[in-house]
Structure 1
């Protein structure tokens, strides 16, 4: 994982149907719990169990949201490449 000193995080979750969800948060643990409880994004509902497979931290919300957008534009293959580069949690 790419860790920094930031308080803003971009993360990728692998769903049980082998699809990926990318999101932004200031508290990864709390956000993953929300997804697991069906209170996260509509996309992840009904797709658990979920696995956090990638995270990056940023100093500012703007930087994090820019990176979230970049990741969301990537192909599945490109997402898998950054996941393997960053390692699994």
Structure 2
């Protein structure tokens, strides 16, 4: 049995939705936890971006990286 790897492109926002952060990951739930605990990107630490407002699912890593850009 083959397990297909999934990749996620996501958008985070600060509470008043004035700052957006776009990223990609293989584990969306874990990555959001990292951002919320202060162990995510430097950008999200600075602006306290922690609300997930959008995500898309991909099966090809090249596609998710392209979408993030």
TM tier, shorter chain? 0.7 to 0.9
Q: Determine the structure 2 residue equivalent to 1:9.
A: 8
SS of 2:39's partner is coil
Unaligned runs of 5+ in 2: none
Pairing 1:12-27 to 2, within 5 Å after superposition: 12-16=11-15, 18-27=18-27
**Structure with greater helix share of residues:** 1
Give structure 1 stretches of 5+ with no counterpart.
Answer: 70-89
Relative contact order (C-alpha < 8 Å, sep 6+): which is higher?
2
Task: Note the alpha carbon deviations across 1:3-46, whole angstroms, 9 max, x for none.
Answer: xx860000000113520000000111100000011111000004
Q: Is the 8 A contact 1:38 1:46 kept in 2?
A: no
Structure with bigger strand share is 2
Q: In structure 1, how many angstroms separate the alpha carbons of the residues matched to 2:5 and 2:14?
A: 26
Count of matched residue pairs: 65
CA distance in 1, matches of 2:5, 2:55: 12
